[in-house]
Structure 1
Amino acid sequence: MRKIKWKIVLFLILAIGLTASVSILGLNQSISKNRNQSQTEKQDSAIKSEQVQKMNVALVNEDEGAKLSGKEYLFGNDIQTSVLKDKTHDWATVSRGVAESGLKRDIYNLMIVIPNDFSKKALSLTSDSPEKIQIYYKINDTGNNDLKTEAEKTASDLLSDMNQRVIDVYFASILTNLQESQDNIKELVNKEKKNNDRYNVSVHNPLANYTDQFKTVQDYTGSSKESFTGFQDLLKGHENSLLEADQENKVYGTDLSSLLKMQQDHTPFGTTFEDNLQKYTASLSAENVQSQLGALQQANALLYRELTSSENTTSLMTQTQQLQNYIADVNARITAVDQSLNDTINAEIQDAVKQDLVRILSGGAGGSNEVFTIASLDPDINKRFTDTLTDSIRKLQYFSEDDAAMLGIDTGAYKKIKDLAKQYMNENPTNFSDADKAQNPSKNVINDQIVETQNKKVQELKQKGITIQSDSLALPETDPEMETEVRLNFDSRFDLENLTLTKDGQNVDYQIAEQSDGKLILHFSQENGEAGNYAISATAKLKDNVVANDIPIFGSLKINAMAVQKVKKEVVQDKAATPNPDPGTTGNESTEPNNSTKSSAGTEATGESNVGATDDKTGTKEDEPAIETKEETLIQEVYSFEFADLPFYNKDDFSLTDMFKELRLIVRNYERTGILFQLYYGINPWNSNYTPSGSLDSQATSNSYYAIFNRDDLLETIAVKASGNMTKAYKEKLSAFELRIADYKQVMSDADARSQDVAARLIGTNQEAISQNENLAKMLSDIDSWREKSSGLVSENQVVLGNSSDEQAAAMALDSSFGSLLVTSQSLADSTGQNLDSAKGVYDTFDAIDQEAKNIQKSGENLISEAGGLSGSLAKKLQADQTFSKNFSKVMKNSRVGDRQNENLYNFLSNPVEKVNGKAIVAGDKTTPYYMVLICTIIALFSGYVISAFEKRRIQKDQFREELSIASRNLPITSITVGVAVIEGLMIGLISGKIFDVSEIGYFFWIGICLLLMLLLVSGCTYLLRQLQMVGMFIILLVLSLYLFLTDAIGLNVDKTSAFGTLQKFSPLQYLETLLNRILNGESNILILTFACIGVAIILIVSNLFVVKKETAEGEGVHES
C-alpha cells in the first residue's frame, strides 16, 4: 500500500512537472516566434541592400527630337539628364562606337542606346497607327548572374522612366485641349443668355400686356352682369319673404284659435287641483298618521336596546357574548385533555413491560436468573464459524518479513494476522498440532523459481551474449587527412566481440586505440573525407566472474557510442607549457562519455587553455614564457549513435502462470483469515491503529458474530418483541379515543365560528337600527315642513285662476285685429312678382355681351400661353447650358494652378500606382491554439498511459475485484482520472493565462476551457488505453498524426477538395483548435463546439466507469461467510 501511494505521489509530481514545462516551453515559443521572424526580415533586407553591385553604364543618346502642337520635344536629352543624377551606378554619355569598344574591353558592364526616332515615335499619338518606342541595350556577360540580374533591373527602371515621360506629354496635350474647350463653352453660354433676355423684353412682355387689356373689358361686363344678377336675387328674395310671411300669418291665426279653445278646456282643472290640494293637506294633519309614526319610532328604540350590550341586562347581544365565552372555555378544557392523552400515548410504557417480561421469563420472579444465548441453544452455529476459522489458520504459510515483502504482502497486516492466529491457537490448543503452533517459516517456492531462472539467464549471456546493432548515423564531410574517432562506453560486466563498423552496408577498417573495462576507442578514416551513413554492430557477452545476483531482473544493457570528427588549427599557446603527448586525443578529457550533443572546436580550445594555466600555477616559477603559434588537432564535431533498449530478461524467461497461482493462493489464505477474524471477532488487522490487548473474547466488538452468538441474551430480544405487540393494541384504543376528541373539537370550533358570525351580524343590525332611527326623525321633520308649504300653495293657486281669466279676454281681442293684416300682405306679394318678370329681359342682354368678351379673352390666353412656353423652353435650355458649362469647367479643374500647369497632377497621372512592400503577415493567432492543443494532447497521453499501467498493477493485487459491480470496480480509477485532468487543466490554464493576456476574454473563463479540454483528452486517452490497449494507442497516435500533418497552423495549405482535406475534417483535435481559435479571436459562435465538448467529456468519463476486462479467476479455496 505504501509503495502504491508513493507511486501515485510520484505520478502527480511528474504530471505537474510535465504540464508546467511543456506549457512554458511551447507557449513561449509561440510568443517569441513573431519577434524573431520580424528581426530576421530586417536583417535580410539590410544584407540585400548591401549586396547591390555597382555597375559602369554607357548611355548612347542618338535622339533627333520631334514636334507636337508646334512645340519641340527632345526626350533623349531629358532621360540623359535624369540618369546622370543616379548615384547607384556610374553613368557615362558616349557615342555608339565608344560604348561598343568599352563593352568589349570590360570598361562598361551595360550599354543602353536611345535611337534617333525615339521622340518621333513617342509623339505618334495623333496618327492612326501609333508606333511603340524601342530602346536597345547590351550586357557584358562575364558569367556573373548577380551582375546580369542587376543590368536587367537597370534597363527595366530606365524603360519605366521613359514611359512616364511619354505619358506626361500625352496628358499635357489632352489637358491643353480640354482647357481651351472650357474657355470657349463659357463664351457660348453668355451669348445665348443675351438672346434669351432680348426675346423676353421685345416679344413676350408686349403680347402679355395686349391680352391683359381684353381681360379688363371682360371683367367690366362680368361685373355688370353680376350686379344685375344681385338685383334679380333681391326681388326674388323679397317675393319669397312676402309669401313666407303670409304662410306664417295663417299658421299664427290657427295657433291663436287653438289657444283660446285650450284655455276654455283647462279652466275646470284649476278648480279640481285646488280641491285635491286642500284634501291632501288635511290628510297630513290627521291624528292616525301621527300615532303610526310615533309607534314606529318606539319600535326602533326597542330594537336598538336589544342590539346594545350593557351590564346587568339580558339583551340579545349580551347573551351572544356569554355564549362565545362558554365555547372558548370548553375548547380550552378539551385541548388540555387531548394533550394529556398524547403524553400518555407517547410515554415509554414498552420499557416497563419489557423489563417485567424479562424478569418473568428468566425466572427472576421465582428466585433464579438464567441467561439464554444462541450458542447455548444451538452450539452448531457457533461451531461452524470456529471450524472455518481453524481450517483457514491451518492453511497459512509463514515467511520472514523480507520474503513477505517480496511476495507483495503488507508486512504490517501479515504480522498482525500471524499474531492473531497464534493467540487463537493458544486459546484453542486442542484443535491444532504442535507444528501449527510453532509457525515455522515455509519454503519460498517463488524465490526458488526466480533463482533458477537467473542462473539459466547468466549461462545464456556468457555463452550466446546479446546482439548489439546501432541505428544508422549520417556523418558529414571532413578533412580527408584526419581520422574519425569512435568512442564506445558500455556495461563493464560485459565484453564486446565481433565488433563491426559499416558504411552504407559495407565494412570499414578500423584500429583500436584504447580498450579497457566498459570503454573502447576506435580510429578510422572517412574515404576521401566523404559523407556517409555509418552503423556499429557487436555481440556483448557476460564475463565469467559475474554471478546471477549481479544481473537485475528489470535491468537492460546500457551502451552509447560517439563519432568524433577532428580538424587541425593553429592556436596560440605558451612555449613553456607542457605539450599534450597525444595529439590524437586532444580535448577528449573535456568531453563526457555520455554526451549526446555537438561540441564546437572553440569550446574545446578554451578547455585546453585552462588546463595549461592550471599547470603553470602548480609548477615552479620561471621567467615569463614566450608566446608562439602552433598547429594542433582539435575536435570539430561530435555525433551520437542510437541503440535500441536491450533488456536482460523477457516475459518468456519466467513461468508466470505457476508463480501467480502460488502467490495468489498464499495471499488469498491470509486475506481470508483476516476477514474471518473481522467477521467473527470484529477485529480488523488492516487497521493501522489496531493494537492487540487481552484475549480474543475480550477484544470482540459488540456487533461481531462472537457477541451475537455468546453474549446477547435471547430473552431480552423476545421481551422486546412481545412488549411491542402488547403496547400496540393499547395505543390503538387510545388513538381511537383521541380521534373522537378531535371530532368534538371540530364541532366546537364550528359552533365558535357560527357564534362569531352571529355577533358580527348583530353588530351590523345594530348599525342599521341606528341609521333607521335617524332617517325616521328626519322624515317627521320633512312632513311638518311639507304641511306648511302645501298651505301656501293653496293660497297661490287662487291667484293663478284669477290671472288666467284676464289672459283669455286679451287673446280674443288680438284674433280679431290679425285678419286685416293678412289681406294687406297678400297684395304686396303679387306686385313683387310682376317686377321680377321685367328684370329678366335686361339680364339676358348683359349675358350676351359677357359671352363675347370671354371668347376674345380665351384667344388671347392661348396666344400668350404659346409665347410663355417658348420663353420657358429657352430659359430651361439656358439653365441646362449653364449647368453643363459649370460641370465642364470642373473637369480636371486641378490641371491648372492659376495661370500655370499643375506639375503634381502630371506626375500622378504618369505613375498613379506605387508599390509598397508591406512585408509578410505572420498568423500568430493560429499557432497559439496549435501549441495549446499539442501540449494538452501530449500531457493527456502521458497521464492516460500511467493511469492504465497503474490499473493493471492494481487489478493483479485485488483478489476480491470479481465480487464488485463494473461501475464499482472502475470508480477509483475514474476518480483518479478526473482528478488528474482537473489538476493539469488548472496548471495549463494558469500558465497560459499568465503568458497570454486573457483579460479580454476572462481569466476564469479561460481556465474553464482548459479544464474542459483536459477532461476530454485525459478521459479519452485513458479509456482507449484501458479498454483497447494496443489498438487504443494506435487510435490515439493516428488522431495525433492527422492533426500534426494536416493542420493549417504551421503553414501547411491542404486542399479542401482532396483526400487529405477530407481526412482533416475527421480530425477531432482540429475542432478543439477551431474552438480555441474562435475564443482567442473574440468570436461569439462557440456555443455549439463548447456544448459538444462538454457532452463528449461526460460520455468519456461515464465510459471509464464501464471498462470491461477479461479476467481468469483460478485458485484454490472458497470464500465463506
Structure 2
Amino acid sequence: MNSPHKEKRYLKILTAVACVSLLSGSLVYFALKDQSLHYSSEIKQTAKVQYALVNEDKGARFENTDYNLGSDFVTLINQDTENNWETTNRSVAEAGLKSGQFDAVITLPSDFSEKLLSLESVSPEKATVSYQIREGQNEQANQAVHSQVNTVLQGFNQRVVRMYFSSIIRNLSDAQTNVNQMAATELSQNTFIISNIQAPFSTLPDSFRSTQSIANSLKTDNELFKTQQEAFVKSVASSMEANNNSLDASGKALESTTNSVNEFSKEANTRLEKSTDQYKEQSEKDKAALEKQWTDDQKHYSDLYNALYTVGNAKLKELQSSDTATGSFMADFKAKAGEYKTAQSKVKGNLEAQITSLEKEVAELRALRETIAETYYGSKDLSVQTATDKDIRSAILNLMTKPENRSKLPKQYIEAIASRLPMISSGDLSALIAKLEQDKLISSDEATTYRNELKIVSNYSSELGGSLGQNTTFKYLSSAATVTSPATYPIHQTIEFDPSTGSQTVQLNIDDAKMGNLELEGVTKDSIEASIRQQLKDTGYHVTAAVSGNTIQVTFVNERTASTTPVASSDSGGSSTSNEDASDATTSTNSTSTSESTAATPTTSPEISQPSYATLPKKVSVTISGQIKWNLSDDVKKNSYNQVGYSWTDGSSVQASAQLSVFNGKYDTLAEDLPTILKNFQNLDLAAQQIVTLFASPGASLDINQFAGTLSSGTLVQKASPDSVYSLYNNLTDDERASEISDVLVTKYRLAGDNLYKQVDQQLKGVTDILGEKENPKEGTLRQVYQSLPDSDLLVKQASALNTWYGEMQKVLDEAHNQWKDSEKLAYESVVNDQNPQPEKMNTSKLEEEVKSLLSQYDSLRDSSKKTAQATADGAAQVRDISPQIQQLNETTESIQKSADGVLSSLNQSVKETSGTVEKNTSYAEQFGKVLANAKSGGADNKQVFNFLSDPITTKVTEGKTQAASHISIIPYYMTLLLSVISFVIAMTIGRFVKDRQEREETDLLTTKKWDLKLQSFLPTIITATVGSILFSGVTIGVATAANGFLWFIYCFMLMASLILVLSYGLKKAPYPTYIVSSSLLGFYLLLTPILGVATQSGSFLNFLYRLSPLQNIENGFSYLLVGGSLGIVTILLLLLFVGIGVGLNLFTRKK
C-alpha cells in the first residue's frame, strides 16, 4: 500500500512533467506554427513598405514668390516605384499605423516651407520632418524604413539648396558690405573722440593741479608779503631820514664839485681838438688799404673757381670717355655689362632647353605609368596602393585573350605573344642590363630576372616562331663613366671693405664640403686696387691688395701728416713765405701772405697751415670679376643634378651668398633612352609572364627564375606542364580559367607590376623634384633657378642711366661756371657825417645853471622825503589780507579737479570699450570677408558658412522607446541576457550555500508572532547581491559607452539586486516552480527578440505577450539609456518596489 509521502512525490513528478510538456509545446507551436509570428518575419519583409505622408505645410513667400515645398515633397515621393506611398491626414495615418495598415508615417509640419526659406533671416532654422515607425516590426524592417526616409529627405535637401543658393551669395555680399561700412564708421567715430575730446581733455586735470599749486603759492606769498611789508615800511622811514641827512651833506659837496667840473671842461676841450686831427689822418690810410685788399681777393678767388671747374670738367670727361685704352670707368662698365648680358642670355637659354626637355620627359613617364597600370592592374586609374588581387586577375585574363574570342584563345594568345616580340630589342638589351647593374641603377636580383626573362622570350622566339625586334642602339651604353671636367661659372660679385679697420680679409667658402671644393680664378689685385683708389682719392689713404686662392686681403695705409707751418706778417711792405715740409708734396695756396703797412706798426700773430683732405668713406665697394671653378667630389659626380651654396665672408659675417648648380651629362643619355628602356623592359616582362603563364603548372610557383632554370635541358613545349594553360586551355570554362590563375601567379605578376610601377613613379618624382612646380617652385629647382635669374639687360640699362647722369652733371657744372662775376667794390664810409658830426667844445655856463637848479631840487627833495615816509606808513595800514580769497580759490579748484578726474576716467573707459568694439567689429568684418570669399570660391570654410545649406531638413523620430533606441545595436540584447544569467547563477549560489536558520519547536512555542527576522541568512544574501550588482554595473559602464553613466549604473544595480533577491528566495522556498517560470520567461524572450529579425503581427496574442515580457521591457530600458534617454519617476519607483520586495522576502520569515 502506497504511503501518503510517495503519493505526494508522484504528484510532484507528474506536475513537473506536465509543466515541462506544456512549456515545450507552447514554445514549439509559437516558433513553428503561429502565423502571426511568421507573417512579419517572412512575408512582410519581401513586400513593399507602406508609407503614409501627412502634409500640413502652409507654404511661404520667398523673393516675392509663393512656395509650397510640402507639395513639391509629395511630387517627389510619387516618383518612388519601389514602395507604396499614400497621402492622408494625421488622424487616418495614426489609426493606420496602429492597425498595421502603414509601416511608417512621415509628417511635414505647418512651418515646413517657412523654415526652409528662412535663410535671409539672422538665425535661419532647419525644417524638421518627423516620422513614426510601426511598433512590433523586426529591426531589419525598421532599418529599411529609416534608410528610405533618409534617401528621400537627402534628395529633397539637394533640390532646396539649388533653389536659392544664388540668393544666399547675394545676401552674404550685402551683409559683408554693411559690416565693413559699420566697422569703418565706428573706427572714424572712435578716432574723432580720441583726437578731439579725450586728448585735449586729458591735460585738463594737470591744469587744475597747476592752478591749485599757484593758489598755495599765492597763500605763502601773501604771508611773506605781509611780513615784508611791515619791514619795508620801517625801512622806508629810516631810509627817508638817512636821505635827508645825506641831501644836506650832498648840497655842500655839490658846490665844491662845480668848481672842479669847470676846470675839467677846459682841459677836455683841448684834448678833443687833438683827437679830431688824428682821426682824419687815419681815415686816409684805411681807404688805401681797402682798395688794395679788393684787388688781391678778386684775383685769388677767380683763380680758385677756374681751377675747380677745370678739374671737375676733366674728371667728368674722363668718366664719359669711351676710349678703352685709358681704362675709363664708363668704358669698362659698358664692356662688363655687355659680357654679363651675353653670359646671362646663354645661361637662361640653357635652362629653358633643360626645362623643356624635362617637361617632355615628365609627360612620357606619366604616359608610361598609365600604360603599366593598365597592363598590370587592368586600369590606368589604379596604382600600387589601390589595385586589388581581383584587378590583377582581371589584368592577367586580359593579357591572355580578348573576351569576344575566347573560343579561339590559344591561337590568339600565341599570336599576342608573337605580336609583342618585335617590341623587344634583340641585341643591346643584354648589354644594357649589364650596364645598368654595373652602375647600380638596378639590383643584381632585378638584373637576373631581366636576363631570365630575355632567355625565356628568346627560347619562345626560336621554338614557336616570332622574331624579336631590330637591334636598338642605346646612347647610354656609349656614355662616359664619370664626370671628369669641373664646372666653371662667371661671377660679378660686389663686396665691401671698411678703410678704418686697416686690413680686412674676405674669403670664398663652400656651404657643404661633401659636394667638393671651389676655386677662385681670374681675379687680380690690380683691378681691386684701382677700384678702391678711385674711391679713396684725396683722402690721404693708400691701398694695397693681395689675392691668394679663395682669399682677398686689402690693406689701407694712412698717409695723412700732422705737421704745421707758422706764418708771420711783416710791416713796411715786406712779405713772409712759409717753409715747406719735405715730406709733403702739396703746397697750400694759403702758405704765402702779403701785407702792407703805411704808418703804424701792426702786431705779428702766428697761423697754422696743413693740407685739406676729402672725407674718408665708411665703406668702399669692389666688384670682383672672374670665375668660380667647382671641383665635384667623387660621391656626387654620379648624380644627374647637383646644387651647392657658397658665401663671401669677412670673419664672422656673411657679405653675400648664392648657389651653383650643374647637370651630369652622363645621365642625359639615360634620360633620352629611358622611354625606350622602360618600354623594352615592360614588353619583356609581359611577354615572359605570358609565356610562363602559358606553359607552367598553375599549382606550382610561377617564378620567372625557376622556370628559366628548367629550360636548360629541353624546349618550351617539352617543359610545358600537363595541366598548364598551353595544354588544357581549350577545355577550360571562364570560371575554371579564372580559378586556375594561382595566387602565386597573381602575387608574382603583381610584384613585377609593382616594381615596374614604382621605378617609373620614382623616376617621375625625381624628375619632377628637379624641375619644380610651375607656380611657386621650391628653392633649388630648375624653375626656381630660372625665375630667380635677373634680367640680362640689367647692367646695360644701369650703364645707360649712369651715362645720362654724367651728361646732366656736365651741364650743371657748365651752368655754375658761367654764373661767375666780379664782386662789387665797397665804398669807404666814415663814421663822421651830418647825423654824426665831430664833437664841439664844451660850454660850462649851462652846467653852472643846472648845478644851481640841482641845489634847489635837493631842498625840495628833503621835504618830499619826510612826507613820503609818513604816507608809506599810512598806506601800509590800509592794505587788506587776501588769505580768505586764496583759501576759497583752493577749495573751488580742488572740487573742479575731482569732477574733471571723474569725467576723464569715464571718458577713458568709454574710449577703451569703443576701441575694443571697433577692433572686434573690424575682426568680424575681416572674418566675414573670408567667409564670403570661401563661399564664392568654394574654400575650406564652406562647411561652416553653408552649414544650413548642407542639410536644411532634419528628421525627428517620434517612434516608441523600443524603436527609437534600438536601431541595430545588439548591446541591450546582450545586457539583458547577461543580467538574467548572472543573476540566476548568483541566486543559485546563494540558495546552495546560505541556508535559513532552523527554528526549533520550543522557540515557536515561546512566542505567538507569525513573522520573524532571519538576519543570519539575510546579511550574506544582501551583501552578495550588492557586491555582484556593483561589479556588474561598474564593468558595463565602460564597455557599453552609455550616454549617461550614472543612470546606467542605477538601472543595472537595481535590476540585478532585485532579480538576485527574488530568485534566491524562490530557489530556496520553491525551486521547481522558480525554474519553470524563469525558463518560460527566457524562452519567450529569445523567441520574440526583434534584434534577431523576428516580428509579431499587431493585435495578435503573441504581440500581447511581447509587450508584457519582463525581459523585453528590461532590454527596452537598456536601449533607451544607450541612446541618451533618462529614467522616469514611474520606472524608478517600480525598481525601488522590486528591490523592496526582494529585501522583504529575504528579511522576514513566516513561522509554521
With the shorter chain as reference, the TM-score category is under 0.3
TM-score (norm 1): 0.21
Q: Which one scores higher on RCO, CA 8 angstroms, separation ≥ 6?
A: 2
TM-score (norm 2): 0.21
